[in-house]
Structure 1
């Protein structure tokens, strides 16, 4: 999580800690320590306990209004404070379940203001334009524990990739509906999670999930402990990845596409996970699997769909990748690894 994002998290939490809401048509505010000219941008909370970011608007700037997004509105306000009236752009979160997304959106705005990259009104509209689609996400039915564990396992891999190179976030393709969870020009990686305390049975979906198509394909199975000591929630893992420099809009979009909604965070935070053990394999012709090429053509029946099977890795005689070998394979998912290989 960036310092601006962390500042917003702390500031809004402090504003919300007061049991009494602000009076009608008033804001409770906290400084961002980011300025537009001589005036400071403010975190704010309204009488409905909804979050706002108030950006000073120069007197010669035209008023701005943008209510096209269901999640965030931009309006122009005249506000009284310290004995004078000042104009502000009011960036207002309209959905409580978008609070976490709004924090990162506000961080993006503050970063742009700090860099002086554009006039404040144009900057706010530009940033909202980038985030608009994500602000349209509405709460979906919650993830099962199995799905939440699977997402956490993928986030553990993503964290290692982003720690090496933040641009490696683009290799996380599973949420986009790709065949494999992670892929680059050089490697595909399939991640499987189990919360069982014993055994290594994993479920393989389809004939192509373990099909390497002649490239390098790695299967990584991760055993997770649920609600044990030193566990971590999915929300904590997402925040940690953001703090490593991953693009916040791209990260939140991928997480949403994976089925995770901040609206369900209260339920999800009941579960914490810890990696207990993992084993990785490079898929070769000798690895036990079912793929289309391993079937006689007469056995492939036209119209058959939804092929799934269970693979017991405990009975697999294939050699496991050592930790250093796995780290090298993960490095192949990043732009830096490709750049190094080409030099």
Structure 2
């Protein structure tokens, strides 16, 4: 079965003129690779970009990259063009941006891949858009019709119902990410939890682990593995306990927190990439937002010698006994009160992790 059934049909019905013209195969990939390597473009506009050589009547389209190196295509259009047909998804951002070209403001359709696994597909999409423009199609029509043909790029995978604990855990991490974003918009770069790393947030040798409970009076948290409460070598570790309670129409949900982070200015691509790693392809999907919560409290602990935990040094030889491959346990934070940080102390620690 072809990857893009609709597009395959279109290819078979290509006109003779389309079939004869040489394809720009791999040119977008090479251009984006060069932009990532140098971090600069030709300096014509404010973002790293290179002229594609394809004119739209309002300027030439440009290969560009996003803040995290995402492949991007900028297509100049008339300032009077209607952009109602442009629609973004968690995999593809389709918006408009204005940049100065030769001192004059120019409006561009700004298309960017948000799922790096689909970069090769995005390259084909960019190539197809430019081909349609070369054929004489109006820029806005070239973009919308090419995206329509690449349905797979926009298709959201169907997902089974998400467990209550997974929703609660993600809400807790997004809540802490929002707190960290108050210090720096680069905090999203420290969000390592989605990528199956040891701790939920890490900046250099400083790490933060988030535990979220669904009751206001909860004191017990579950720990997974002997590494989870071990600080990075030569660094520090914080354990943050977020307490929430389930509430109909509560102000804390995956979708609401996502929207608030984007509104604060967090890089949407980085945020979506982290969510996708957790199988949250659409932060507004019903399965991820069937639960909402109210905030009940927050405690932050410095995990240091004497903190109630099991780590490698708890065992002879510094590792699990032979034949034991994993370990899970619970910590009663009522026994960790000497390690609890004041708001002033964890303000400094949060600022350091946020970047």
TM-score, normalized by the shorter chain, greater than 0.5: yes
Asked if structure 2 preserves the Cα contact closer than 8 Å seen for 1:190 and 1:218, the reply is yes
Query: Paired residue for 1:139?
Result: 158
Aligned residue among 296, 300, 306 for 1:286: 306
The correspondence of residues 79-94 of structure 1 with structure 2, limited to 5 A, is none
How far is 1:290 from its partner?
A: 0.4
SS at match of 1:262: coil
State which drifts further: 200-209 or 300-309: 300-309
User: C-alpha distance in 2, partners of 1:302/1:120?
Assistant: 66
How far is 1:319 from its partner?
A: 3.0
| Count of aligned pairs between the two proteins | 250
SS at match of 1:232: coil
Asked if structure 1 preserves the Cα contact closer than 8 Å seen for 2:225 and 2:328, the reply is yes
Asked if structure 2 preserves the Cα contact closer than 8 Å seen for 1:181 and 1:191, the reply is yes
With over 3 angstroms needed to count, the CA separation of the structure-2 counterparts of 1:303 and 1:139, relative to structure 1, is: farther
How far is 1:308 from its partner?
A: 0.5
With over 3 angstroms needed to count, the CA separation of the structure-2 counterparts of 1:298 and 1:220, relative to structure 1, is: closer
With over 3 angstroms needed to count, the CA separation of the structure-2 counterparts of 1:237 and 1:116, relative to structure 1, is: farther
Q: Which deviations, in whole Å up to 9, do the C-alpha atoms of 1:78-123 show, x marking residues without a partner?
A: xxxx9xxx9x999876xxxx74655xx123xx13x44559x99997
> Is 2:94 aligned against 1:106?
yes
User: C-alpha distance in 2, partners of 1:250/1:298?
Assistant: 36
The correspondence of residues 35-114 of structure 1 with structure 2, limited to 5 A, is 57-58=56-57, 99=89, 102=92, 105-107=93-95, 110-111=96-97, 113-114=98-99
> Is 2:206 aligned against 1:208?
no
Q: Which deviations, in whole Å up to 9, do the C-alpha atoms of 1:31-66 show, x marking residues without a partner?
A: xxxxxxxxxxxxxxxxxxxxxxxxx9428979xxxx
> Is 2:270 aligned against 1:250?
yes
Structure 1 residue ranges without an equivalent (≥5): 1-55, 63-73, 77-81, 336-343
Asked if structure 1 preserves the Cα contact closer than 8 Å seen for 2:248 and 2:291, the reply is no
How far is 1:132 from its partner?
A: 6.7
SS at match of 1:158: helix
SS at match of 1:279: strand
Query: Paired residue for 1:150?
Result: 169
With over 3 angstroms needed to count, the CA separation of the structure-2 counterparts of 1:237 and 1:122, relative to structure 1, is: closer
Asked if structure 2 preserves the Cα contact closer than 8 Å seen for 1:142 and 1:260, the reply is no
Query: Paired residue for 1:329?
Result: 349
Q: Which deviations, in whole Å up to 9, do the C-alpha atoms of 1:217-252 show, x marking residues without a partner?
A: 000011111115752221110111111111111111
User: C-alpha distance in 1, partners of 2:312/2:302?
Assistant: 19
User: C-alpha distance in 2, partners of 1:324/1:263?
Assistant: 33
Structure 2 residue ranges without an equivalent (≥5): 1-54, 62-72, 120-152
> Is 2:207 aligned against 1:181?
no
Query: Paired residue for 2:182?
Result: 163
User: C-alpha distance in 1, partners of 2:101/2:296?
Assistant: 46
State which drifts further: 278-287 or 230-239: 230-239
User: C-alpha distance in 2, partners of 1:229/1:130?
Assistant: 31
Aligned CA RMSD, in angstroms, stands at 3.8
> Is 2:289 aligned against 1:269?
yes
TM-score relative to the length of structure 2: 0.60
With over 3 angstroms needed to count, the CA separation of the structure-2 counterparts of 1:61 and 1:169, relative to structure 1, is: closer
How far is 1:259 from its partner?
A: 2.5
How far is 1:302 from its partner?
A: 3.2
How far is 1:129 from its partner?
A: 8.2
With over 3 angstroms needed to count, the CA separation of the structure-2 counterparts of 1:304 and 1:226, relative to structure 1, is: same
TM-score relative to the length of structure 1: 0.62
Asked if structure 2 preserves the Cα contact closer than 8 Å seen for 1:235 and 1:269, the reply is yes
User: C-alpha distance in 2, partners of 1:263/1:218?
Assistant: 27
Asked if structure 1 preserves the Cα contact closer than 8 Å seen for 2:300 and 2:341, the reply is yes
